C-alpha cells in the first residue's frame, strides 16, 4: 500500500478546513450531518476543531447499482436530527462522481434548513459527473482508490490513521474472516 496522506498531513488539512468553516459560520449554531460510515473519523476530528454551538446527526446513504443502470440512493435517517430552519453542514468522506452528495443535498433541502452547505475530506479530481461542487474540501486527490481514515475496501482498512492507495496485490489478498 502506498501512503498518499500521512496522519500529520490529514490533521493539518482537517484543521485548515475547520478554519474555513469557522470563518463561514462564526459563532452561529451549526448542525453537522455526517454521511456514515466513511466520514466517521473526519466527523470526530473536524468537530473538535469547531467551537460554535454544534449538534451532530448521522445519516447512512447506500446506492444499489444494478448492471449498468445508475444507482438508486437510499438514505437511512434514523439518526438524523430536525434540521428545519437550521444552518446545516453535510459532511462526507470523498466526492467522486458526486452523485451521492448531490442526492443527499437534494433530500436535505426538502427538510427546509435555513442554509445548507457541504464539506468533504477528499475531492477526486476529474471524476465528477454532477454540476455541484462541495463548499469545503480538505484535499484534492488523483483518481486512485483510497482507503484509511474512515474509508474502506470491503469494510476493512477504516482504522488506518493515514490515507493509502490500494495496489493490485492488496486487492488479491483475501481478508481473514
Ligand atoms: P460518488 O457518489 O461521489 O461517486 O461516491 C461517493 C462514495 O463512493 C463515497 O462516499 C465512498 O463511499 C465511495 N468511494 C468513492 N471513491 C472511493 C475511494 O477511492 N475509496 C473508497 N474507500 N471509497 C470511495
Ligand atoms: Mg461513503
CATH number at residue 14: 3.40.50.2020
Q: How many whole angstroms from 140 Cα to the centroid of ligand 2?
A: 17
Cβ of 151 closer than 6 Å to ligand 1, yes or no, is yes
Distance 54 CA to ligand 2 centre (A): 23
Does any domain span residue 152? no
Residue 125 belongs to some domain of the structure: yes
In a domain, 176, yes or no: no
pLDDT digits (tens, 9 = 90+) for 72-102: 889 998 889 999 999 999 999 999 999 999 9
The whole domain housing 123 covers 7-65+74-141
How does pLDDT run across 52-78, given as a tens digit for each residue? Answer: 999 999 999 987 655 444 568 899 988
On whether residue 136 sits in a domain, the answer given is yes
Inside any domain, residue 55: yes
Provide the whole-model pTM: 0.93
Confirm or reject: Cβ of 59 under 6 Å from ligand 1: no
Residue 177 lies in a domain: no
Residue 156 lies inside a defined structural domain of this protein: no
* Active site positions, annotated: 96
150 lines ligand 1 (CB under 6 A): no
Average the pLDDT over 40-56 and give the result: 98
Contact indicator for 127, 99 with CB cutoff of 8 Å: no
When pLDDT is cut at 50, 70 and 90, the band that residue 177 belongs to is very low
Per the CB < 8 A criterion, the answer to whether 110 and 137 are in contact is no
pLDDT band at 167; cut points 50, 70, 90 = confident
Q: Considering its fold, how many domains does the chain have in total? A: 1
| CA–centroid distance, residue 36 to ligand 2 (Å) | 6
Residue 159 falls within a domain, yes or no?
no
Amino acid at each position: 500500500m502506498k501512503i498518499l496522506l500521512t496522519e500529520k498531513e490529514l490533521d493539518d488539512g482537517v484543521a485548515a478546513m475547520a478554519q474555513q468553516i469557522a470563518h463561514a459560520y462564526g459563532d452561529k449554531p451549526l448542525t453537522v450531518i455526517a454521511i456514515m460510515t466513511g466520514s466517521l473519523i473526519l466527523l470526530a476530528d473536524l468537530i473538535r476543531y469547531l467551537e460554535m454551538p454544534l449538534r451532530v446527526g448521522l445519516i447512512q446513504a447506500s446506492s444499489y447499482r444494478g448492471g449498468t443502470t445508475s444507482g438508486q440512493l437510499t438514505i437511512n435517517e434514523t439518526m438524523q436530527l430536525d434540521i428545519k430552519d437550521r444552518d446545516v453542514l453535510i459532511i462526507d468522506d470523498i466526492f467522486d462522481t458526486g452523485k451521492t452528495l448531490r442526492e443527499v443535498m437534494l433530500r436535505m433541502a426538502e427538510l427546509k434548513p435555513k442554509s445548507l452547505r457541504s464539506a468533504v475530506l477528499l475531492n477526486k479530481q476529474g471524476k465528477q459527473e454532477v454540476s455541484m461542487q462541495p463548499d469545503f474540501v480538505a484535499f484534492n486527490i488523483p483518481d486512485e482508490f483510497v482507503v484509511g481514515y474512515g474509508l474502506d475496501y470491503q469494510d476493512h482498512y477504516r482504522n488506518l490513521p493515514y490515507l493509502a492507495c490500494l495496489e493490485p496485490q492488496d486487492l488479491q489478498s483475501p481478508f481473514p474472516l
